[in-house]
Amino acid sequence: MNRIDMLKSRWRPEWSQRSDLSKLSGAFHKALHFIETMPKTRSELAGPGNLSPKGLNDAIRAVAAEKIVPDLRRAMWDAEKTANGLKNDLLRLAVPRQHDKSDLAGAMMRAEMRGMLREMLKGSSEEVGERLRIIMQEPDFLVAAFEGPAQLSGMTEEFRSDLERRMIEQAHGPAVEAINSAKEAVDLVQAAIEMAVNTVRHEGDFGNDNFFASWMATASAEVEREIAAEKVKAEAPKTNAEALTAGEDISTKISAIFAARLKPFELSADHQVAA
């Protein structure tokens, strides 16, 4: 099984049927198409035998710059937007942690509950398990448990995170399953895009990292401007919760693929390399 067949075998048919993953599906298949066609394009250009090695490289690079790199950058952007959407979906399922700061009576009651929780979570694992079951059925206790550091409720942060995960899965099982499935699709698209970028590099016979990065930045510059304009148009003030979780953006992993290749940057004079 070659690398393209391996990627295809991992793509689930249901992903192509999901309306929320339609652009992701398009990005995946577009990346596969480029992985397949780049070697063929080089062979076709080399066929007549009238191009020097440098001329052949220039020709394949011209095709890639015009017809492949811009589409790959758009594909990556579609994957990034899907990933951000999944992050927001997860945030909506999370246990609320914001409270009315002016409600002193409510704050005092939750403090008392946390004291009770500390006592309830002492004992054998069987006793703790039974008490957790009770806690998960009492909304007031849950609100108290997720306010402030986990230690205030007699938990570790890891234990509370696991509790939250189980609560979300219990209350929103189908939604969590759909989100996790979509995450797998995003990861697969990431792999396909990375493979397509490496194919461009190989078939274009780029031998220098800095030159390839500079060339990719130039080839994708127009798409970068389109993306920047779209981000400005869609930008809105962040809520407190979003601001706190901004550093955990799922799309960071995907953006890393193009970090050294598609983000415009300046090369110092002594690092410039001629084609």
Helix axes 125-136, 157-171, angle to 10 degrees: 50
Residue 129: pLDDT band with limits 50, 70, 90: confident
Residue 30: pLDDT band with limits 50, 70, 90: very high
% residues pLDDT > 90 (the chain): 48
Q: CA-CA distance, 71 to 77, in Å (whole number)? A: 10
Give the DSSP per-residue string, the chain: --HHHHHHHHS-HHHHH-GGGHHHHHHHHHHHHHHHHHHHHHHHHHTT--S-HHHHHHHHHHHHHHHTHHHHHHHHHHHHHHHHHHHHHHHHHSPP----TT-HHHHHHHHHHHHHHHHHT-S-HHHHHHHHHHHHT-HHHHHHHTSS-GGGGT--HHHHHHHHHHHHHHHSHHHHHHHHHHHHHHHHHHHHHHHHHHHHHHHTT---HHHHHHHHHHHTHHHHHHHHHHHHHH--PPPHHHHHHGGG-THHHHHTTTTTTTS--PPPGGG----
Residue 144 confidence (pLDDT) above 60: yes
pTM over 0.75: no
The more confidently predicted of residues 42 and 103 is: 42
pLDDT of res. 264:
41
Q: For 215-270, what is each residue's pLDDT tens digit?
A: 999 999 999 999 999 999 887 555 544 444 444 444 444 455 455 444 443 344 34
The more confidently predicted of residues 76 and 262 is: 76
pLDDT of res. 74:
95
- Average pLDDT over the chain reads 81
Query: What six digits make up the tokens of 123?
Result: 């004992």
Interior/surface letters 197-225, b for 16+ CB within 10 angstroms, e for the rest: bebbbebbebeeeebbbbbbbebbeebbe
The more confidently predicted of residues 145 and 80 is: 80
The more confidently predicted of residues 261 and 97 is: 97
Residue 112: pLDDT band with limits 50, 70, 90: confident
pLDDT of res. 222:
95
Q: For 172-198, what is each residue's pLDDT tens digit?
A: 889 989 999 999 999 999 899 999 999
